Amino acid sequence: MTEGPIGGKIVAFAIPLFLGNLFQQLYNTADTFIVGRLLGDSALAAVSSSGSLLFLIVGFFGGIAMGAGVVMARYFGAGDDDGLCTAAHTTLTTALLAGVFLSVFGAVLAPKILVLMDTPPQVLAQAVSYVRIYFIGALGMVLYNACMGIMQAVGDAKHPLYYLIFSSCLNVVLDVVFIAGFRMGVGGAAVATVIAQLCSVGLCLLRLMRIDAPYRVRLSHLGIRPDMLGRIVRYGLPSGFSNSVIALANVVVQSNINAFGEMAMAGCGAYAKIEGFAFLPITCFTSAITTFVGQNLGAGEYARTRAGARFGVLLSMAIAEGIGILIFLFAPVLIGAFAGGEEAIAFGAEKARTCALFYFLLAASHCLAAVMRGAGRAVVPMTVMLVCWCVIRVTVLTVVTPIVDDIWIVNWVYPITWSLSTLVLCLYVRFANWMNMGKSTP
């Protein structure tokens, strides 16, 4: 990342990430398609209602892994092999402990939270079953994020792609076997996901334990260095907190959607899967930008850092908007692939046509936040997201929905808050001297 054509390096790193995320999105979509078609709109509503809750819990630990990736990218760019090795083993050990905690916490408390979210009684039992099984396998998910963070920090985007392709295909096959063959209901979809994640973790660990590199994983080296954990938390805690507060706001949004009934839940849940495809270029470019900025600031390449950040942000915005236009044009057809009822399709299409043309703002916010995280200023996007995507979003819904009982209020809260966060982050990147953080390694 510190040498060669800037655009070529970013795109070459982003393409495997894009393909990996595409396969992941495809198997998530297959989950929804199989559940919706084989089990009906009620089961689809049960799975959809748990999405925000799952991201609320998992997103925090994903943010910590993101911070660990920034630390390792900086060490890698500076050529500090000892620091890279220590950071990798501390990251994996922390992920192991966090995964065990998350499995227990999620399995015990998630059902209570679903009740607090006003999940309709007719889908509550299925939602609880799905969430409990999903969280039992949370260890695999957290460990996978940690392993992927290590590989991406050193510029290896190909092997995570291979493992995602394998686990995605396995998940789809197991979905059919457990749901259509064994008649396990929505619990079968959760079991399939857990098994696929555990398999991908096994492949990642096997790769990291065999590679001849400073970040090779050795069981004897596993442990937590307090000073290194402090660095990882300093970089990762703002990202994890940001993910959690955004997800918390989305839980509030989901509660408002739930108030409009089962068909609204099914339609908006189907839309969420469609939106996932628009989010693919955003996800891959945020990872590429964070790694690029981290490595180049670690190497002292400040002009290259700024040029690469600009390229990644603009390209991500262009691709996301192109996908948004297609979703806007074909919304009813796309939603209809998941939800069978006309009412559910109408709810989903309305949300799609409200949000899709503003995807360029969503891309801008996430990519500008990735620039700040790579530069070690994760507190900045955390604060912006907290205010714009949590406080303002929740305040609007709390104040307006009791007055205007229409779901368009819930739909429009997303483009409005995307606009605000993009404006603030653009101003910060333009006028703040944010690259000063790159003048030393973590």
Task: Give the distance between the most distant pair of CA atoms in the chain.
Answer: 63
Distance CA 389, CA 52 (A): 14
Question: How far apart are the C-alpha atoms of 398 and 406, rounded to whole Å?
Answer: 13
Neighbours of 81 (CB within 10 A): 13
- Which of 240, 243, 267 has its CA nearest to residue 344? 267
Contact yes or no for 345/339 (Cβ under 8 A): yes
d(CA 243, CA 250): 10
440 in any annotated domain: no
Residue 192 tokens read as: 């399939």
Place of tokens 């002009």: 303
Please list, in sequence order, all residues whose beta carbon lies within 8 angstroms of the beta carbon of residue 52, skipping any fewer than 6 positions away.
117, 247, 250, 251, 253, 254
In angstroms and rounded to an integer, the radius of gyration of the C-alpha atoms of the chain is 21
Cα–Cα distance, 51 to 145 (Å, whole number): 18
pLDDT (tens place) for every residue of the chain, 442 residues total: 778 888 888 888 888 878 877 777 776 666 667 777 677 767 766 676 666 667 666 777 777 887 788 889 889 888 899 999 999 999 999 999 988 888 888 778 877 878 877 777 887 888 888 888 888 888 888 898 899 889 988 888 788 888 888 888 898 889 889 988 888 888 888 899 899 989 999 999 999 999 999 899 998 999 999 999 888 888 887 877 777 777 777 777 877 787 787 788 778 878 887 887 778 888 888 888 988 888 888 888 888 988 999 999 999 999 999 999 999 999 888 888 776 678 888 888 899 999 999 999 999 999 999 898 888 888 888 889 889 988 888 888 888 877 877 888 888 989 999 999 999 999 998 888 777 644 444 5
Give domain status of residue 83, yes or no. Answer: yes
Judge contact between 44 and 270, C-beta under 8 A: yes
Structural domain span for residue 94: 6-435
Angle between helices 6-39 and 302-329 (to 10 degrees): 30
Q: How many domains does the chain have?
A: 1
DSSP label at residue 434: G
Residue 441 maps to a domain: no
On whether the CB atoms of residues 305 and 296 are closer than 8 A, the answer is yes
The one-character DSSP state at 359 is H
Residue 303 and residue 5: Cα distance in Å, rounded? 13
User: What global pTM score does this model have?
Assistant: 0.71
Q: Name which of 38, 182, 53 is nearest 107 in CA terms.
A: 53
148 to 152, 158, 213, 378: CA distances (angstroms):
6, 10, 16, 20
Please, are residues 267 and 332 in contact by the beta-carbon 8 Å criterion?
no
Half-sphere exposure of 2 (CA within 13 A, CB side): 18
What b/e sequence results for 205-234 when a residue is b if at least 16 CB atoms lie within 10 Å of its CB, and e otherwise? bebbeeeeebbebeeeeeeeeeebbebbbb
Determine, yes or no, domain membership for 285: yes
Q: Tell me which residue of 174, 198, 170 sits closest to 34, measured CA to CA.
A: 174
Residue 442 lies in a domain: no
